[in-house]
């Protein structure tokens, strides 16, 4: 029999809990945990939860976005950014997290799934450094 992956388990939990609520949902989740323990997969609980999160996001059309900037963004800028991402990824919901890092100097870095758009000054300076140091 093929090895059970975290993704397989997450998919199974999703199917078992889909459309359920209240005590029924609690019971299903408890059983899922028991099966995990029986199959000695509790160590992979974090991976399974991440995979489950991905499945739910896919089904609900949710996109998670991480924005890192050197200074706080204005609310108008946040709204614009969310709309852009919504349009690009054809998403229903955009859940954004914002972080501040002074060492980025300026600009912003946007992370969506495994895609990164790094438009920070720090990155540009690093590129310039590499360009100037390469042998010509």
Partner 1 sequence: MSNHIVENLRKEIEAFQADTKTEKVGKVIEVFDGIAKVSGLSDIKSSEMVTFPNGEVGVVLNLEEDAVGVIILGDFSKIKEGDEVVATGRILEVPVSDNILGRVVNALGKPIDGKGAIKADKTYPIEKVAPGVVTRQAVGEPVATGIKVIDAIIPVGRGQRELIIGDRQTGKTAIVIDSILNQKGQNMICVYVSIGQKDSKLRKLEARLEEGGAMEYTVIVSAGASESAALSYIAPYTGVSIAEYFMDQGKDVLIIYDDLSKHAVAYREISLLLRRPPGREAYPGDVFYLHSRLLERACRRNKKYGGGSITAFPIIETQAGDISAYIPTNVISITDGQIFLETDLFYKGIRPAVNVGSSVSRVGSSAQIKAMKKVAGTLKLDLAQYRELEAFAQFGSDLDESTKRQLERGKRSVEVLKQLQYAPVKTEHQVVILYALVKGYMDDVPVEKIKEFEQGLVDYTEKNAKVFYKEVVEAKMWTDKGETELKKVIEDFKSSFS
Residue 111 interacting with partner 1 (CB under 8 A) = yes
Residue 46 interacting with partner 1 (CB under 8 A) = no
Residue in 75, 76, 102, 135 binding partner 1, rule: CB under 8 A:
135
Residue 119 interacting with partner 1 (CB under 8 A) = yes
Applying CB under 8 A, the site for partner 1 has a residue count of: 20
Among residues 25 and 86, whose Cβ is nearest to partner 1?
86
What HEC string does the chain produce?
A: CCCCCHHHHHHHHHHHHCCCCHHHHHHHHHHHHHHHHHCCCHHHHHHHHHHHHHHHHHHHCEEEEEEEECCCCCHHHHHHHHHHHHHHCCCCEEEEEEEECHHHCCCEEEEECCEEEECCHHHHHHHHHHHHHCCC
Residue in 16, 47, 62, 64 binding partner 1, rule: CB under 8 A:
47
> Which residues of the shown chain bind partner 1 in the complex (CB under 8 A)?
5-7, 47, 111, 113-119, 123-124, 127-128, 131-132, 135-136
């Amino acid at each position: 029999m093929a090895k059970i992956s975290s993704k397989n388990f997450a998919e199974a939990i999703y199917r078992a809990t889909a459309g359920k609520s209240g005590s029924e949902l609690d019971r299903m989740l408890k059983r899922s945990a028991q099966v995990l323990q029986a199959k000695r997969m509790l160590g992979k609980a974090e991976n399974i939860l991440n995979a489950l999160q991905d499945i739910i996001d896919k089904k609900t059309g949710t996109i998670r976005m991480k924005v890192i900037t050197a200074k706080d963004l204005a609310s108008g800028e946040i709204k614009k950014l969310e709309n852009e991402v919504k349009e690009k990824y054809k998403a229903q919901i955009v859940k954004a997290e914002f972080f501040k890092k002074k060492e980025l100097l300026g600009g912003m870095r946007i992370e969506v799934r495994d895609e990164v758009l790094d438009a920070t000054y720090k990155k540009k300076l690093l590129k310039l450094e590499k360009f100037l140091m390469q042998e010509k």
